[in-house]
């Protein structure tokens, strides 16, 4: 079939027509020397994006049997999709169309009409050159599995499981330890607010265990995973019996592996050593939930207790944001145990980011807890030498020290990140797809991160993140709905690939794997997003991205740079 | 019970937009109600977002475009929810939509209608820092890029005189002075409240001199002053249009003693403002006056430390209620209690008050219309037990974003995505 190129110049009412010479554009395009052997149909229209304009374009494509289409109009941000949708209604493959922006790039920015017209002709010419080198591309449709694997049975993992199960999604929940509940299960009270008790957590554990859509694997961890959104093949292994492996299929993965607390003895902060009467918050919570009160190692009740905030903050480089709140809670629990215990909190910055925190902070002060803002401190045994905010040097002798240590990524986070092909933030926690606007997704489609694995998070926040991941899965992975992967993906020309594997290193999506038998790199088209990183990095020039091939780009810039 | 697959979302900020797009992808029909004539919420008032200095427009404009082009989402701008009857799964909603007098389809947003309008009005969206016409879009780049007419001030519509200048200037016949306010009735299965926040009015804290001294700005005023599409096109000049400040004090926690909560975002926003100022005015002296610094994300402290090292001097004040700002020798004298509880002061050209976030204007009315509980601060109270929940006190009505309490963009989006999960699950029966 010979080429038949349709070029449609939109006037955008007066927006384009009053600033460029439409007649001249059409005339000069018709006379282009390098297009004399091609059949051109060049027309203008008052407003191509209008209902009538779209119908006009549709008829033109069909009646003229166009093989290529160029729309000279506005920014692709405004109407590229509009014209792609018109193509989809016709015989023309949408990848045989090109938009050229003569409004923002010419009419609206160049005061001189001749100059604007001449630039418009040139960039339309570029578009015509390019479109001739474009090739029809077809969307693929893949079946998908709506089931979900959740890694980690703490509050976030359980909340995700219950939310998914509420909409009849099958969930596999794997947990490293013997039982569900994670760190929250150790706590004395779930949150320092009235009405929030451990009953909620116990209820959740029993709901997860009895839910017919949730299959729980305790003492188990991920062994391997391959695949992509909609189709992951998973192997889990038992931790007690490593030969005991189970193969699972799922469409999405939620990582809820939680956090650890920094080990005080590994820190320089305040010179705190793990002495006899120095405890971290988890140890205190255990004590409180087992015996209902705090006692020293000799079994007696302390008369003076100091709580030190922000331990390890300067080493890890971030605020753990929950510690101020939970140390206030512990202070209150100690005062509830006995009002005669002197409780002092030493903090650098009081961080109370949730709306109910401040009222609680005021309540704790009313209970007689002394709060001292410090610049620095040095701990020897249970004696604290500190410099307060007014630069005064003071000494505090206590019977017991409780430290609020920084939250850090759970052990095994790095290995899990490699297996799941998800990035870690410089803090070691997993990195979100976009910090601001895509906060529970990751760089790998279909893998989500929630709770402490995502960064320091309290219980409420972890639960919300878990629900958010479920919301993403409900709307991205719909039972019975096909997955349509990106069309404009990279392809590797087997004959030229030298097997150097440079592309594997630059791919941010884990879309390229190495075929050992053939000794070449191969793109998994279901995962590739067509970013082009691999194209630029390939020393042998054997990779190209569909719809952005070198000849296509060369043709487009050739005329622009002439 | 008739479980309708339609969802009403009130508020088109980042939370409302995220939920709309997600629900649409799952095949739900969404009605997105926005009281202003543009969508995008408060995020689009920011030039850049902390801590990565992402351009806000670049983050949000593609989302706005997608919303406007989505066949499952019916966007009702200049609209408010008037009444709701019925129960979860089958709410009957009455929405009143103010006439904008410009046809959304016919108008291309070419802007030929504003210059000819003879009426000058204060532009509230620009924090009163500039004017607009009686036919206007609040800012360059507003979406939908279609102006509306203020009927009370338009000479034609309020009957002052036969004007019609904008009608004559419009080449698309898009302006229709005969358009009427509409009442729209809908049936929806679930409702999401994503009405966002407003800033605490600081003129009542008289010691700080806001409204009295020209050099005192609120954080949001400063955002617009810094914005490339703002009243000064990003040029940092003061209200007189000439003076460029050579010393600036940024005051944290303004109004916190009144609100009794930390507003969550101001320490980072104030660090960002210091960063902006330092880069635009490298010779300016910049101070941040704080009591505690709240940096609730793994990425925040690094940015804050960087600002502290390079852009601003951070000064501790012992009691935020003891600050006084007065004009002296054509400068602002900022008096505070220092770390020894002693009086201290600095003199600056400009003061930026990082004022508290509060529940959005009109949320009390909406609370009554919807019949949902608020907390004592005026935010929507999530139930039950106040933790990890986006449900309100009324079944079928959910909440996300700053309508529930002050929070940053990512936590607004997290709540919104969580609300989508709950709505999807709820509509499933």
For residue B429, pLDDT over 70 is answered with no
Model confidence at A243, pLDDT cuts 50, 70, 90, reads: confident
B22 vs A354, A461, A471: nearest CB = A471
End-to-end CA distance of chain B: 9
B260 vs A359, A455, A471: nearest CB = A359
The answer to whether A437 contacts B65, with C-beta atoms less than 8 Å apart, is: no
Mutation target for B interface from A468, A477, A484: give the one with most B CBs within 10 A: A468
Mapped onto helix, strand or coil, the DSSP state of residue A491 is strand
Distance from CA of B279 to the nearest CA of A (A): 23
Q: For the segment A537-555, what is each residue's pLDDT rounded down to a tens digit?
A: 999 999 999 999 999 999 9
Closest alpha carbon within chain B to A470? B421
Q: How far apart are CA A370 and CA A360, in angstroms?
A: 14
The answer to whether A355 contacts B417, with C-beta atoms less than 8 Å apart, is: no
Q: Is B273 exposed, middle or buried (0-12, 13-18, 19+ CB in 10 A)?
A: buried
Residue B385 confidence (pLDDT): 58
Judging contacts by C-beta atoms under 8 Å, the chain B residues touching residue A472 are: 22, 417
Closest alpha carbon within chain A to B108? A12
Model confidence at A526, pLDDT cuts 50, 70, 90, reads: confident
Judging contacts by C-beta atoms under 8 Å, the chain B residues touching residue A465 are: 414, 418
Q: For the segment A402-425, what is each residue's pLDDT rounded down to a tens digit?
A: 999 999 999 999 999 999 999 999
Closest alpha carbon within chain A to B425? A167
By the 8 A CB rule, do A538 and A503 touch?
yes
How many CB atoms are located within 10 Å of the residue B235 CB? 13
A365 touches chain B (CB under 8 A): no
Mean pLDDT within B242-271: 97
Model confidence at B128, pLDDT cuts 50, 70, 90, reads: very high
For residue A194, pLDDT over 60 is answered with no
C-alpha distances in Å from residue B54, one per residue of B43, B47, B59, B159, B272: 11, 9, 7, 46, 12
Portion of chain A with pLDDT greater than 90, in percent:
81
Which candidate, B348, B383, B428, B353, places its Cα nearest to that of B7? Answer: B428
Domain A4-137 class? alpha beta
The answer to whether B387 contacts A438, with C-beta atoms less than 8 Å apart, is: no
Q: Considering the entire predicted model, what is its pTM?
A: 0.92
Question: Residues 2..61 of A with a Cβ closer than 8 Å to B: which?
Answer: 12-15, 47, 50-51
For residue B400, pLDDT over 90 is answered with yes
Question: Residues 465..484 of A with a Cβ closer than 8 Å to B: which?
Answer: 465-472, 474-476, 478
Residue B68 confidence (pLDDT): 93
Q: Which CATH superfamily is domain A148-258+410-476 in?
A: FAD/NAD(P)-binding domain (3.50.50.60)
A14 vs B171, B292, B416: nearest CB = B171
Mean pLDDT within B129-139: 96
Q: At how many degrees (to 10) do helices B14-25 and B56-69 cross?
A: 40
Closest alpha carbon within chain B to A165? B425
**Residue A452 half-sphere exposure toward CB, CA atoms < 13 A:** 25
Closest alpha carbon within chain B to A321? B296
The answer to whether A352 contacts B409, with C-beta atoms less than 8 Å apart, is: no
Q: How far apart are CA A326 and CA B297, in angstroms?
A: 17
Q: At how many degrees (to 10) do helices A76-88 and B56-69 cross?
A: 30
For residue A509, pLDDT over 50 is answered with yes
Distance from CA of A472 to the nearest CA of B (A): 7
Tokens matching residue A304: 């003076």
Domain A261-407 class? alpha beta
Tokens matching residue A81: 């999709």
Q: For the segment B49-96, what is each residue's pLDDT rounded down to a tens digit?
A: 999 999 898 899 989 999 998 999 999 999 999 999 999 889 999 999
Domains and CATH numbers, chain B: 6-98+181-196+360-427 (3.50.50.60), 102-178 (3.30.70), 200-356 (3.50.50.60)
Mutation target for A interface from B65, B255, B292, B388: give the one with most A CBs within 10 A: B388
Residue B2 confidence (pLDDT): 52
A436 vs B61, B385, B410: nearest CB = B410
Question: Residues 316..345 of A with a Cβ closer than 8 Å to B: which?
Answer: 317-319, 321
Portion of chain B with pLDDT greater than 70, in percent:
98
Question: What's the mean per-residue pLDDT of chain B?
Answer: 95
Q: How far apart are CA B425 and CA B391, in angstroms?
A: 12
A464 touches chain B (CB under 8 A): yes
For residue B3, pLDDT over 70 is answered with no
By the 8 A CB rule, do A61 and A91 touch?
yes
Closest alpha carbon within chain B to A468? B418
A167 touches chain B (CB under 8 A): yes
Tokens matching residue A555: 């043709």
B414 vs A196, A425, A468: nearest CB = A468
Mean pLDDT within A366-389: 95
Q: For the segment B286-302, what is each residue's pLDDT rounded down to a tens digit?
A: 999 999 999 999 999 99
A199 touches chain B (CB under 8 A): no
Closest alpha carbon within chain A to B402? A355
Mean pLDDT within A489-494: 94
Residue B22 confidence (pLDDT): 98
Residue A14 confidence (pLDDT): 82
Closest alpha carbon within chain A to B423? A471
The answer to whether B415 contacts A468, with C-beta atoms less than 8 Å apart, is: yes
Model confidence at A192, pLDDT cuts 50, 70, 90, reads: low
Judging contacts by C-beta atoms under 8 Å, the chain B residues touching residue A350 are: 292, 294
Residue B1 confidence (pLDDT): 44
Q: How far apart are CA A220 and CA A286, in angstroms?
A: 24
Runs of H (alpha helix) within B320-379: 363-370
Distance from CA of B202 to the nearest CA of A (A): 20
The lowest-confidence range among A112-121, A153-162, A510-519 is A510-519
A425 touches chain B (CB under 8 A): yes
Where in chain A are all domains bearing CATH 3.40.50.960?
4-137
Q: Residue A517 carries which DSSP code?
A: T
The lowest-confidence range among A479-483, B164-168, B192-196 is A479-483
Closest alpha carbon within chain B to A352? B262
Write the DSSP assignment of A403-472 as a string of letters.
EEEPEEEPTTHHHHHHHHT--B-TTSSBPPSBTTTBTTB-SSTTEEE-GGGTSS--HHHHHHHHHHHHHH
Model confidence at A188, pLDDT cuts 50, 70, 90, reads: confident
How many CB atoms are located within 10 Å of the residue B352 CB? 29
Strands B131-133, B120-122: parallel, antiparallel or unpaired by DSSP?
antiparallel
Distance from CA of B81 to the nearest CA of A (A): 26
How many CB pairs below 8 Å do chains A and B form together? Answer: 209
Q: How far apart are CA B210 and CA A462, in angstroms?
A: 39
B417 vs A81, A460, A472: nearest CB = A472
Mapped onto helix, strand or coil, the DSSP state of residue A479 is coil
How many CB atoms are located within 10 Å of the residue A340 CB? 9
Closest alpha carbon within chain B to A455? B298
Strands A512-515, A370-380: parallel, antiparallel or unpaired by DSSP?
unpaired
A436 vs B49, B298, B388: nearest CB = B49
CATH placement of domain A490-546? 3.30.70.20
End-to-end CA distance of chain A: 30
Mean pLDDT within A180-198: 72
A449 touches chain B (CB under 8 A): no
Question: What's the mean per-residue pLDDT of chain A?
Answer: 93
The answer to whether B261 contacts A475, with C-beta atoms less than 8 Å apart, is: no
Judging contacts by C-beta atoms under 8 Å, the chain A residues touching residue B318 are: 389
Q: How far apart are CA A414 and CA A412, in angstroms?
A: 6
């Amino acid at each position: 079939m010979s080429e038949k190129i349709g070029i449609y110049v939109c006037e955008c009412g007066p927006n384009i027509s009053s600033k460029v010479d439409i007649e001249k554009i059409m005339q000069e395009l018709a006379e282009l020397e390098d297009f004399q052997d091609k059949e051109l149909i060049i027309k203008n229209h008052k407003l191509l994006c209008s209902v009538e304009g779209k119908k006009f374009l549709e008829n033109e494509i069909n009646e003229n049997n166009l093989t290529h289409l160029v729309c000279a109009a506005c920014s692709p941000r405004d109407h590229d999709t509009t014209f792609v949708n018109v193509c989809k209604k016709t015989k023309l493959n949408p990848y045989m169309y090109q938009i050229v922006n003569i409004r923002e790039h010419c009419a609206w920015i160049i005061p001189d009409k001749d100059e604007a017209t001449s630039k418009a002709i040139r960039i339309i010419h570029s578009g015509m050159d390019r479109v001739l080198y474009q090739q029809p591309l077809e969307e693929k449709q893949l079946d998908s599995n709506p089931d979900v694997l959740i890694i980690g049975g703490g509050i976030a993992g359980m909340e995700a499981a219950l939310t998914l199960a509420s909409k009849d999604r099958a969930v596999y929940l794997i947990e490293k330890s013997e039982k569900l509940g994670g760190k929250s299960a150790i706590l004395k009270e779930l949150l320092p607010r009235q009405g929030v008790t451990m009953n909620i957590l116990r209820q959740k554990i029993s709901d997860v265990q009895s839910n017919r859509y949730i299959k729980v694997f305790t003492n188990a961890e991920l062994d391997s995973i391959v695949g992509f959104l909609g189709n992951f093949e998973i192997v889990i292994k038992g931790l007690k019996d490593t030969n005991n492996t189970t193969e699972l299929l799922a469409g999405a993965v939620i990582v809820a592996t939680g956090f650890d607390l920094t080990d005080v003895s590994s820190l320089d902060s305040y010179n705190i050593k793990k002495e006899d009467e120095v405890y971290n918050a988890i140890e205190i919570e255990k004590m409180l939930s087992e015996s209902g009160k705090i006692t020293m190692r000799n079994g007696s009740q302390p008369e003076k207790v100091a709580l030190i905030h922000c331990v390890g903050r300067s080493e890890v480089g971030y605020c753990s944001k929950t510690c101020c709140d939970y140390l206030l809670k512990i202070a209150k629990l100690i005062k509830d145990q006995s009002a005669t215990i002197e409780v002092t909190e030493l903090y650098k910055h009081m961080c109370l980011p949730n709306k109910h925190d401040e009222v609680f902070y005021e309540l704790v002060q009313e209970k007689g807890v002394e709060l001292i803002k410090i610049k620095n401190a040095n701990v020897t045994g249970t004696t604290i030498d500190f410099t307060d905010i007014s630069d005064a040097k003071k000494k505090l002798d206590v019977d017991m020290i409780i430290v609020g240590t920084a939250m850090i990524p759970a052990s095994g986070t790095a290995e899990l990140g490699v297996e799941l092909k998800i990035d870690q933030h410089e803090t070691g926690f997993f990195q979100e797809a976009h910090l601001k606007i895509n906060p529970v997704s990751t760089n790998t489609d279909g893998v989500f991160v929630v709770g402490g694995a995502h960064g320091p998070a309290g219980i409420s926040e972890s639960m919300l993140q878990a629900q958010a991941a479920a919301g993403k899965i409900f709307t991205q992975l719909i039972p019975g709905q096909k997955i349509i992967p990106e069309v404009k993906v990279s392809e590797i020309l087997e004959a030229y690939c030298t097997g150097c594997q440079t592309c594997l290193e630059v791919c941010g999506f884990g879309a390229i794997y190495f075929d050992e038998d053939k000794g070449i790199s191969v793109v998994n088209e279901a995962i590739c997003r067509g970013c082009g990183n691999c194209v630029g990095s390939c020393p042998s020039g054997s990779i190209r991205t569909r719809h952005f091939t070198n000849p296509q780009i060369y043709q487009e810039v050739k005329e622009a740079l002439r | 019970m008739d479980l309708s697959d339609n969802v009403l979302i009130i508020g088109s900020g980042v939370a409302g937009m995220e939920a709309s797009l997600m629900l649409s992808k799952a095949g739900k029909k969404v009605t997105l109600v926005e009281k202003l004539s543009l969508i995008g919420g408060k995020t689009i008032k920011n030039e850049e977002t902390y801590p990565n200095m992402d351009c806000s427009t670049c983050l949000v404009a593609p989302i706005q475009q997608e919303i406007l082009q989505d066949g499952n989402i019916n966007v009702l701008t200049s609209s408010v929810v008037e009444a709701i009857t019925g129960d979860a799964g089958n709410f009957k909603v009455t929405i009143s939509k103010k006439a904008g007098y410009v046809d959304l389809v016919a108008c291309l947003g070419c802007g030929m209608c504003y210059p000819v309008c003879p009426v000058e009005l204060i532009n509230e969206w620009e924090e009163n820092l500039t004017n607009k016409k009686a036919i206007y879009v609040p800012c360059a780049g507003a979406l939908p890029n279609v102006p509306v007419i203020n009927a009370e001030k338009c000479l034609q519509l309020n009957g002052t005189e036969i004007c019609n200048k904008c009608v004559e200037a419009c080449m698309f016949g898009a302006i229709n002075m005969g358009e009427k306010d509409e009442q729209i009735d809908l049936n929806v299965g679930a409702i999401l409240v994503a009405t966002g926040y407003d800033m605490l009015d600081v003129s009542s804290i008289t010691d700080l001199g806001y409204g009295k001294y020209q050099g005192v700005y609120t954080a949001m005023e400063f955002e617009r002053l810094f914005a490339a599409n703002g009243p000064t096109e990003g040029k940092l000049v003061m209200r007189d249009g000439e003076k460029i400040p050579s010393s600036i004090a940024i005051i944290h926690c303004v109004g916190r003693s009144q609100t009794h909560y930390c507003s969550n975002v101001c320490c980072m926003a104030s660090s960002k403002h210091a960063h902006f100022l330092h880069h635009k005015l490298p010779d300016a002296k910049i101070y941040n006056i704080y009591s505690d610094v709240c940096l609730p994300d793994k990425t925040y402290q690094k940015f804050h430390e960087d600002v502290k090292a390079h852009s601003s001097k951070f000064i501790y004040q012992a009691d935020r209620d003891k600050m006084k700002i007065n004009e002296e020798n054509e400068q602002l004298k900022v008096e505070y209690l220092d770390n020894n509880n002693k009086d201290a002061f600095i003199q600056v050209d400009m003061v930026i008050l990082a004022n508290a976030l509060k529940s959005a204007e009109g949320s009390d009315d909406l609370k009554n219309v919807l019949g949902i509980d608020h907390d004592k601060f005026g935010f929507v109270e999530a139930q039950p037990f106040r933790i990890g929940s986006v449900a309100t006190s009324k079944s079928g009505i959910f909440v996300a974003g700053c309508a529930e309490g002050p929070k940053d963009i990512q936590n607004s989006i997290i709540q919104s995505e969580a609300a989508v999960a709950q709505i999807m699950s709820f509509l499933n029966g």
